[in-house]
Structures are given as structure tokens and as C-alpha cells.
């Protein structure tokens, strides 16, 4: 029963993390397009609260529940092909993306953004591709 509870909590925290990973770059798009100081300040506050209040805790919970799940039965995850290695590689890349978003939150707060809204529109697609790959790896287990 513990396994099922951990799995459910892992999925819920992952959904919360991805919600932030999808929304924060969208805020960057709007922030990069804004021209008045009131809008820029408002976006900075929204970005900071989303990153620190939701994304950070959700990432930590996702990782903690995932590690806990693996620790209950490591051979079930690593003894059936290389899908888990590929998934964990994508998770490491996703953690890097998360921290890139955090660095960008700080740049916007300092008024040092040099990128256009078009850049952020493309930047926003990265977590979509990673999510697609992770779901396929976990459900289909192609190798």
C-alpha cells in the first residue's frame, strides 16, 4: 500500500512541477513584451512566487517521492532494460532547465533581460518535449 501512495504523490508533485515549468516561460513571454514599469514589476513578483512557492517545492517532492519509490525495489526499475536510465537522464536535464528558469527570474527582476518574447516562446517548448519522452519511456518502456 505504501508503494501506491508514494506513486500517487510522485505523480501529483510531478504534475505541479510541470504546471510551473509550462507557465513560467509563458510569463517570460509576457514580461519580455511589457514596456511599462508597473507590468514589469508585476511579472517579476508573479515569476518569483511561482518559482519559489510552487516549482521549487514541487520539484523537491517529485525527486523525493521518486527516490523513495526506487529505494523500495531498485531491481524492478533498473533490472528491466534501460528505460529508467533514459528517464533519469531526462530528469537531470529537466532539473537543469528548472535552474535556467530560476536564473532568468533573477535577470528579469534586475531588469537585465536581453532576450525577445520569441525566444521564450521556443524556450517554453522544452518541458513539453521532455514530458512527452518521459511518459513514453515509463508507459511503453521501449528498451
pLDDT tens for 38-84 read: 999 999 999 999 999 999 999 999 999 999 999 999 998 888 889 99
This prediction has a pTM of 0.94
> Maximum CA pair distance of the chain?
56
Asked if the model's pLDDT at residue 110 lies above 90, the reply is yes
The stretch 8-17 carries a mean pLDDT of: 98
Residue 79: the pLDDT is 84
Between 10-14, 78-82, 121-125, the lowest mean confidence (pLDDT) is in 78-82
87 labelled ligand-binding:
yes
98 labelled ligand-binding:
no
Amino acid at each position: 500500500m505504501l508503494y501506491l501512495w508514494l506513486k500517487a504523490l510522485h505523480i501529483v508533485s510531478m504534475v505541479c512541477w510541470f504546471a510551473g515549468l509550462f507557465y513560467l516561460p509563458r510569463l517570460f513571454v509576457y514580461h519580455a513584451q511589457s514596456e511599462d514599469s508597473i507590468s514589469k514589476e508585476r511579472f517579476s513578483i508573479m515569476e518569483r512566487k511561482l518559482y519559489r512557492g510552487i516549482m521549487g517545492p514541487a520539484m523537491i517532492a517529485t525527486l523525493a517521492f521518486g527516490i523513495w519509490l526506487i529505494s523500495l525495489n531498485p531491481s524492478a526499475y533498473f533490472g528491466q532494460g534501460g528505460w529508467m536510465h533514459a528517464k533519469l537522464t531526462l530528469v537531470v536535464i529537466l532539473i537543469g532547465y528548472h535552474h535556467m528558469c530560476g536564473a532568468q527570474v533573477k535577470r528579469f527582476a534586475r531588469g537585465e533581460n536581453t532576450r525577445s518574447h520569441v525566444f521564450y516562446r521556443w524556450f517554453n517548448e522544452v518541458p513539453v518535449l521532455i514530458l512527452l519522452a518521459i511518459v513514453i519511456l515509463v508507459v511503453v518502456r521501449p528498451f
